Copies of this chain bind each other. A is one copy, B any other.
């Protein structure tokens, strides 16, 4: 809701049809769109997904790959005992379903956390487009690589560190995503539950709750349900560097 209207404006005239879906998709993944491609290529389909709606299911045969246009998606795997392990949250411009290229089966379940939309390209069209349109190919490569970097960032976030530090890193990451999208980096609206965040960061959801309290206590953030205000981003960034929680009194000096 917040993103779509504004960001459409950033790509002028899309609504007047001057930009094709393909053109807009290229813009999303940061590929420079050549001007000569009007109608000459297969067009991706624009697919809306309602809040809570499923994009694809773990284990299902993959039919197409997607690029997020609006909204936020939760990407997770379900273990044998029913535990839900969140492996990422996908926002505007991110690639979804790429992992299925290894064996044509999705290895994650992906659902929308709010009203969302994606551009979808069937696997056959995907290869054809990449062959015919180098800028598309480049964009896809870059998006795939970025997704990989993203995953290693998650690992870093889960690395031996106190829960509060993990949460601080998470909030800073969301903040970065916001500012990249042209929003305020200090005013966040989280789309996911505490439980989702906990799964993502590898801690219990109660611990997330307490960590929010601790960061608020420390005067670093303001918390109102899922609306987060970052009060001192420099201090939060400093805080996120530490490995373990420096207790209440701060002062890591000895």
Residues in chain A within 8 A of chain B (CB atoms):
77, 79-81, 83, 85, 87, 98-103, 107-108, 127, 130-131, 134, 137, 141-149, 151-152, 154-156, 158-160, 199, 202-204, 241-243
Known: A79-B156, A144-B148, A148-B148. 15 other contacts (CB 8 A): A79-B243, A81-B242, A81-B243, A85-B155, A87-B152, A99-B149, A100-B145, A107-B149, A108-B152, A127-B134, A144-B144, A148-B151, A151-B152, A160-B203, A202-B202
The answer to whether B202 touches A148, judged by C-beta atoms less than 8 angstroms apart, is: no
Tell me which residues across on chain B come within 8 A of A156, comparing CB atoms. Answer: 77, 79, 85
The answer to whether B77 touches A152, judged by C-beta atoms less than 8 angstroms apart, is: yes
The answer to whether B102 touches A145, judged by C-beta atoms less than 8 angstroms apart, is: yes
Tell me which residues across on chain B come within 8 A of A127, comparing CB atoms. Answer: 134
Whole-angstrom distance between the Cβ of A236 and the nearest chain B Cβ: 15
Bound complex: CA A149 to CA B158 (Å): 18
Whole-angstrom distance between the Cβ of A253 and the nearest chain B Cβ: 16
Q: Knowing A101-B142, A141-B101, A148-B99 are in contact, say whether A159-B108 is a contact too (CB < 8 A).
A: no
Bound complex: CA A55 to CA B151 (Å): 21
Q: Which of A144, A146, A242, A243 has the most CB of B within 10 A?
A: A144
The answer to whether A151 touches B155, judged by C-beta atoms less than 8 angstroms apart, is: yes
Whole-angstrom distance between the Cβ of A32 and the nearest chain B Cβ: 15
Tell me which residues across on chain B come within 8 A of A81, comparing CB atoms. Answer: 241-243
Q: What would 22 A/B residue contacts be, using CB atoms closer than 8 Å?
A: A79-B243, A80-B241, A81-B241, A83-B159, A85-B159, A87-B152, A100-B145, A101-B141, A102-B142, A102-B145, A102-B146, A107-B149, A130-B137, A144-B144, A147-B148, A151-B151, A158-B158, A159-B202, A160-B199, A160-B203, A160-B204, A202-B202
